[in-house]
Structure 1
Amino acid sequence: MAKTNPGQLMKEFRQELSKVTWPTRKETLVTTGMVFVMVTLTATFFFLVDLVLNQGVKLVLGLGG
């Protein structure tokens, strides 16, 4: 692997950084909101599955009230 001096490295770094497309504030807020919605839906789903499985195990093992 060829060695690059620090000046060349910084030049290449700036070139690559200029190619980055940064999201707008609106895009960031929308995607953040979607993440919160999906996390909430997923947590609710697994809570309900856990509740059903818990009741099923209690019923099978005769521990239910």
Structure 2
Amino acid sequence: MAKVSPGEFFRQVRAEGSKVVWPSRRETVTTGIMVALLTSILAVFFFGVDAMFSTIVQFLLGLLAK
């Protein structure tokens, strides 16, 4: 591995950073909304699955208690 001076390292970092294509404000907002929407949908889905399994387990435990 080649060793470089700290100054050269920071020049390389700056050069690589300038190559990054940053998203526009609209893309960032759209992505944020999609993340929030899909997170909400998944939360409702997993809540429903959890409630269903809870009901099944309580039913089965109720059969054992009799």
Normalised by the length of structure 2, the TM-score is 0.89
**How many Å separate the matches in 2 of 1:37 and 1:51?**
21
**How many Å separate the matches in 2 of 1:62 and 1:17?**
62
Tell me which protein shows more helix as a share of its residues. Answer: 2
Partner of 1:26: 26
Partner of 1:60: 60
Q: Please tell me the residue identity of whatever aligns with 1:38.
A: L
Gap regions ≥5 residues in structure 1: none
Structure number with greater CO (CA < 8 Å, separation at least 6) is 1
Identity among equivalent positions (%) equals: 44
Q: CA deviation at 1:15?
A: 0.9
Normalised by the length of structure 1, the TM-score is 0.90
Gap regions ≥5 residues in structure 2: none
Q: CA deviation at 1:40?
A: 0.3
* Displaced runs of 4 or more, over 2 A: none
Q: Please tell me the residue identity of whatever aligns with 1:33.
A: I
Report the count of equivalent residues: 63
